[in-house]
């Protein structure tokens, strides 16, 4: 995609509040989302240039002089610096790299640049695009990095002076950024006259600042923070930022009056002093800002990560190379964990960024049935202590399973489409979610293994749904849109046609089951014409999630709201729909088929909340607030009585000994009998007093 921004050019890279046009250059049949990011309202940052003879990356970006570098000069435009050095450093006062347009040596040589842990490890400096042809351009005119705030320039040959031309990018101590804006529509480019894109009005945005640390309070440097912003038109936008050398980060260009959430990146670890730290998906917020306002986010703590490894073999014990490995679960704080890796030529996989908690390891490869190992416990250990967990998998060849095929009967009607009615490819459903469009899928489930509320452990494999495209909007005549097929293992198996909405950040959304089938499958069985239909006679269920005073929602998977059809009773065993509030105190289940339902709410350490005779009408919203109460009775291990073992498990949870001697993961232990929103020695004492028949907190 090419583009031209009509409000600015390379000599004036800043804008003021107002209306601006975006154009998408022609490219037949392609679709683009159109957005404006990090618009800078003011300027003022100066830069410094240092010279030195030792490699600098990995040092303190803010104090090059401590590494033997000499300050050659400062400026905001073209300036010549004398000296003969192996390396030059360009640094801005605000620890952000300004727009470096050009460098030039006396011998005409060009230079390589690098910025450690930036989006690009190095840039080749080039002359293309320079108006006067005298300077070599570094990256794009709008390129910048906030990860270390410097660029290292290494001449390819000896020079005795360096000329630097830098365009100031406005990142001073308190710059003013315009809000981020994104188009609500898709735009199809055509040959001939281009499509007129949306106009944007830029207003002053706000800031969210925070810090990421280890359990000991030490800074986590250069760590990725993925914010989510619900824009004014209700779409989700994902900007990005990183922590600095002291673990601090700043997220700018945020809409005033719009909900903002901060996420850690759950699939990335951070190595600090040879120790890897990680966590599940942490989501903080929402933050609602006024123009120019700065809000402080709670400190984010990462845990010392473990190594998870194992060998994947087939039914004959032979290694399976190239298998895709998915690790899904929760960390000890209840945050969702999702990690991906693959097996090597010996069938061995390894990942070194798994936080302590519990997970399911799943392996898949074409020609094989997916294999999995559930309830894999990742213990919590002090940073630096060896922590290696082994989980092996067995994957059977496809001919050991049963083949199922069919058609989604009304696929052409319900599939996501662009504003002109053109069907969208299914494999880009994660992008369509930003625009409020649903995604559809078919999942196979082991019906003997599922348990509420955590049914993900019972998932077997996704069915492939044909969408009629070979590549991005390239028609594949061999495909029949809506046709599906999947091979599943023998046994008591069901398939479920679901619709998924991700309409708020932080793992929040809804899943609705529209149709399903269940069989006892045998090896080699072939089932065809197993057609499924998406219900269109739907409404919505939404409401508040109310918890006891002092209760802290821990983790992005702390609560789920389920609905079960009452007529016929519990027709779909795994439920007709699921709403996940994530970090918010509301839930919503969209496109739920009309009917009468039982609604069941699950929340960590709280009583199950149940409501019956809830009616969903076509085209209408039904409101139901789900109210939770404390559920901890002192029977920690769930054996029906209170014993010293329960008190011991409560104390082990306080100490972080996971899993406890009750065989329960710490995040699933219900021991807060004192109702102070935490598991403490006082809870263990109270449970023991109850066992002895002495007066205590539960009387």
Q: With H, G, I as helix, E, B as strand and everything else as coil, classify residue 39.
A: coil
Q: Which pLDDT score, from 0 to 100, does residue 243 have?
A: 83
Residues 386 and 421 in one domain: no
Of the ranges 259-263, 354-358, 454-458, the best mean pLDDT one: 354-358
Question: Is 153 a member of any domain?
Answer: yes
Q: Same structural domain for residues 212 and 264? A: yes
Strand order in the sheet with 577-580: 459-462, 439-446, 491-504, 508-521, 577-580, 559-565, 595-603, 609-616
Considering the domain architecture, whether residues 265 and 213 belong to the same structural domain is answered as yes
Give one word for 226, left, alpha or beta, with left for phi > 0 and alpha for psi -120 to 50.
beta
Q: Please indicate, yes or no, whether residues 482 and 545 belong to a single structural domain of this protein.
A: no
- Tell me whether residue 485 is in a domain: yes
Q: Are residues 382 and 407 in the same domain?
A: no
Q: Give mean pLDDT, residues 406-411.
A: 96
Residues 431 and 492 placed together within one structural domain of the fold: yes
Q: Is residue 8 part of a domain?
A: no
Q: Are residues 429 and 489 in the same domain?
A: yes
Q: Are 112 and 122 in contact (CB under 8 A)?
A: yes
458 and 573, same domain (yes or no): no
What mean pLDDT do residues 641-654 have? 86
Domain count along the chain: 6
**Which of 383, 400, 417 is the last residue before a domain boundary?**
400
User: What range defines the domain where residue 257 resides?
Assistant: 205-304
- Same domain for 352 and 242, yes or no, is no
Q: Which two tokens stand for residue 514?
A: 């529209």
Q: What is the CATH number of the domain that holds 325?
A: 2.60.40.1120
Mean pLDDT of the chain: 77
Q: What is the mean pLDDT of residues 293-315?
A: 93
Q: What is the pLDDT of residues 116-173, one digit of tens each?
A: 333 333 344 444 444 444 555 444 333 333 334 566 676 655 555 666 666 554 444 4
Residue 633 lies in a domain: no
User: What was the pLDDT predicted at 252?
Assistant: 75
Question: Rounded to whole angstroms, how far apart are CA atoms 403 and 523?
Answer: 9
pLDDT at 183: 65
Residue 453 covered by a domain: yes
Residues 492 and 443 in one domain: yes
Domain boundary among 339, 370, 400: 400
* Spatial separation of the C-alpha atoms in residues 580 and 601, rounded to whole Å: 10
What does the pLDDT look like over 182-222, one tens digit per residue? Answer: 665 666 665 555 556 666 667 777 888 899 999 999 999 88
Q: Rounded to a whole number, what is the distance in angstroms from the first to the last CA of the chain?
A: 68
């Amino acid at each position: 995609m090419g583009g031209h921004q009509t409000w600015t050019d390379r000599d004036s890279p800043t804008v003021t509040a107002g209306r601006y046009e975006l154009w998408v250059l022609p490219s037949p049949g392609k679709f683009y989302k159109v957005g404006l990011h990090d618009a800078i309202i003011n300027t003022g940052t100066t830069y410094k240039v240092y010279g030195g003879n030792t490699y600098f990356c990995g040092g303190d970006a803010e104090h090059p002089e401590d590494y033997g570098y000499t300050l050659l000069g400062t400026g905001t435009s073209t300036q010549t610096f004398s000296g003969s050095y192996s390396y030059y450093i360009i640094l801005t006062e605000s620890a952000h790299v300004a727009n470096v347009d050009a460098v030039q040596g006396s011998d005409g040589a060009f230079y390589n640049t690098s910025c450690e842990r930036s989006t690009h490890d190095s840039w080749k400096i080039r002359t293309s695009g320079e108006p006067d042809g005298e300077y070599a351009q570094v990256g794009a005119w709008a390129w910048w990095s906030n990860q270390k705030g410097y660029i290292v320039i290494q001449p390819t040959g000896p020079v005795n002076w360096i000329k630097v031309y830098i365009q100031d990018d406005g990142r001073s101590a308190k710059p003013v950024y315009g809000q981020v804006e994104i188009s609500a529509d898709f735009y199809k480019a055509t040959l001939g006259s281009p499509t007129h894109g949306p106009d944007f009005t830029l207003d002053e945005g706000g800031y969210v600042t925070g810090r990421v640390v280890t359990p000991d309070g030490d800074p986590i440097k250069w760590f990725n923070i993925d914010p989510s912003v619900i824009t004014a038109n209700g779409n989700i936008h994902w900007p990005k930022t990183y922590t600095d050398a002291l673990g601090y980060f700043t997220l700018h260009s945020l809409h005033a009056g719009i909900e903002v959430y901060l996420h850690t990146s759950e699939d990335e670890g951070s190595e600090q002093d040879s120790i890897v730290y990680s966590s599940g998906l942490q989501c903080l917020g929402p933050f609602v800002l006024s123009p120019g306002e700065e809000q402080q986010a709670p400190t984010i703590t990462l845990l010392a990560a473990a190594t998870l490894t194992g060998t994947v073999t087939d039914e004959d014990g032979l290694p399976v190379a190239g298998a895709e490995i998915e690790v899904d679960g929760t960390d000890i704080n209840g945050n969702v964990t999702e990690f991906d890796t693959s097996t090597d030529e010996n069938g061995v996989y390894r990942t070194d960024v798994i936080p302590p908690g519990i997970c399911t390891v799943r392996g898949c490869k074409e020609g094989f049935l997916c294999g999995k190992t559930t309830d894999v416990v990742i213990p919590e250990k002090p940073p630096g202590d060896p922590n290696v967990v082994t989980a092996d998998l067995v994957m059977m060849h496809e001919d050991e399973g049963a083949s199922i095929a069919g058609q989604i009967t009304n696929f052409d009607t319900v599939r996501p489409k662009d504003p002109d009615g053109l069907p969208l490819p299914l494999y880009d459903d994660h992008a369509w979610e930003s625009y409020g469009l649903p995604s559809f899928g078919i999942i196979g489930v082991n019906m003997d293994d599922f348990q509420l509320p955590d049914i993900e452990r019972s998932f077997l494999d996704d069915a492939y749904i044909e969408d009629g495209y070979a590549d991005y909007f390239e028609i594949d005549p061999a495909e029949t849109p809506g046709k599906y097929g999947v091979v599943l293992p023998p046994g008591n198996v069901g398939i479920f046609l679901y619709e998924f909405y991700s309409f708020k950040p932080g793992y929040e959304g809804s899943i609705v089951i529209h149709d399903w089938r269940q069989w006892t499958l045998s090896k080699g069985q072939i089932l065809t014409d197993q057609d499924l239909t998406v219900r269109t006679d739907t409404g919505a269920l939404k409401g508040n999630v109310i918890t006891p005073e002092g209760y802290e929602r821990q983790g992005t998977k702390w609560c789920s709201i389920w609905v079960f059809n009452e007529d016929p009773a519990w027709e779909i065993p795994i439920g007709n729909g699921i709403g996940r509030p994530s970090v918010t105190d509301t839930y919503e289940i969209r496109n739920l088929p009309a009917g009468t339902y039982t609604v069941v709410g699950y929340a960590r350490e709280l009583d199950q909340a149940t409501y019956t005779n809830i009616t969903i009408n076509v085209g209408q919203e039904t409101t139901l607030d789900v109210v939770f109460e404390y559920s901890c009775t002192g029977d920690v291990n769930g054996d029906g009585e209170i014993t010293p073992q329960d008190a011991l498990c409560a104390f082990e949870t306080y100490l972080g000994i996971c899993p406890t001697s009750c065989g329960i993961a710490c995040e699933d232990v219900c021991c807060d009998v004192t109702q102070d929103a935490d598991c403490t020695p006082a809870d263990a004492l109270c449970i023991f007093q109850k066992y002895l028949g002495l007066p205590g907190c539960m009387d």
